[in-house]
Amino acid sequence: MIDAQLKQLAGWIEEARYAIALTGAGVSTESGIPDFRGADCGLWKMVDPFKVASIDGFFSDTHGFYDFWLWRFAKLSSAAPNITHLSLARLESRGLLKAIITQNIDNLHHLAGTTRLYEVHGNYTRGVCIDCHNKIDTAKILAKVSREKLARCDDCGGLLKPDVVLFGEMLPPAFMDGLKEVLRADLLLVLGSSLEVYPVADLVPQAKQNGARVVVLNREETPFDGSANLVISCELGAAMGRLSELLDLTH
């Protein structure tokens, strides 16, 4: 069943004029990065997202926020791209995939070699001052935290935080750039996303309404499975490995 679906998907990719991908946390679980809403060990079952992933939490308990990010930074910085990241990068290098829009902050698409990447929730390797908006490496922020308990900007004294979108914050310009890609697409691959976080989830019906085929590859059901042209319920690593064989991306 899944092999037949993957063969159909391979054919659609080869005939697409402008294929793009939307990726979520499930793409990186095989790199050892926990997702957020997984049935067994979702990150939000371990910690309160209001405390560690919202702008209000950042201000109300900055020390607790930094403690979480010291742990999260260690997890993220030790991760390496897996077969899904690498397969998508190869698709791009062969001209079969035009861009990737990702909800992930883990930098793994960059490390895999993707060049046209829209990080709509930011990137954990970058940090920012909340007052003057100066950029700084996140590693330097956390080094400051280890020494001084708080991390403040050397220029203005404002608090520093990872340059990622927290609950309660606006999305960066990358989101609107990604939307433009969606409106150009005739094939949208959705990989490893629960499609429960807006406004990113709304990109799927926009692609569909604009005439694109929508393919969802995910372990669990999503709210948009019913409107997708193809739904492949799968472990991404095995599925992307087979897709790579079908499209001769392994060389």
Tens of pLDDT, residue by residue over 12-71, are: 999 999 999 999 999 999 998 876 555 554 455 566 767 778 999 999 999 988 888 888
Beta bridge partners of 218: 233
Do 155 and 240 fall within a single domain?
Answer: no
Do 55 and 141 fall within a single domain?
Answer: yes
Question: Tell me, what's the pLDDT at 249?
Answer: 79
Do 27 and 85 fall within a single domain?
Answer: yes
- Closest to 22 (Cα-Cα) out of 155, 197, 243, 239: 197
Specify the number of domains making up the chain.
Answer: 2
Q: Supply 57's token pair.
A: 């939490």
Give the amino acid at 34: P
DSSP-assigned letters across all residues of 18-42 = SEEEEE-GGGTGGGT---SS-TTT-
Do 65 and 149 fall within a single domain?
Answer: yes
CATH number of the domain within which 113 lies = 3.40.50.1220
Q: How far apart are CA 149 and CA 221, in angstroms?
A: 42
Do 64 and 135 fall within a single domain?
Answer: yes
Question: Tell me, what's the pLDDT at 41?
Answer: 47
Do 242 and 176 fall within a single domain?
Answer: yes
Domain boundary among 134, 164, 194: 164
Q: Is position 121 annotated as part of the catalytic site? A: yes
Per-residue pLDDT of the chain (251 residues), as tens digits, is 789 999 999 999 999 999 999 999 999 999 988 765 555 544 555 667 677 789 999 999 999 888 888 888 888 988 999 999 999 999 999 999 999 999 999 999 999 999 999 999 999 999 999 999 999 999 899 899 988 888 999 999 999 999 999 989 999 999 999 999 999 999 999 999 999 988 999 999 999 999 999 999 999 999 999 999 999 999 999 999 999 999 987 76
Tell me which residue range forms the domain holding 223: 1-33+80-121+171-251
Do 24 and 146 fall within a single domain?
Answer: no
CATH number of the domain within which 54 lies = 3.30.1600.10
Beta bridge partners of 187: 19, 213
Half-sphere exposure of 168 (CA within 13 A, CB side): 11
CB atoms within 10 A of CB 38: 17
Question: Tell me, what's the pLDDT at 133?
Answer: 94
Do 85 and 151 fall within a single domain?
Answer: no
3-state secondary structure of 218: strand
Q: How far apart are CA 205 and CA 208, in angstroms?
A: 5
Alpha helices in 104-162 (DSSP H): 108-112, 138-148
Give every strand in the sheet of 135-137, ordered side by side. 135-137, 122-129, 160-164
Do 155 and 245 fall within a single domain?
Answer: no
Domain boundary among 136, 164, 192: 164
Question: Tell me, what's the pLDDT at 71?
Answer: 85
Do 73 and 87 fall within a single domain?
Answer: no
Do 7 and 108 fall within a single domain?
Answer: yes
Do 92 and 200 fall within a single domain?
Answer: yes
The catalytic position among 110, 121, 133, 251 is 121
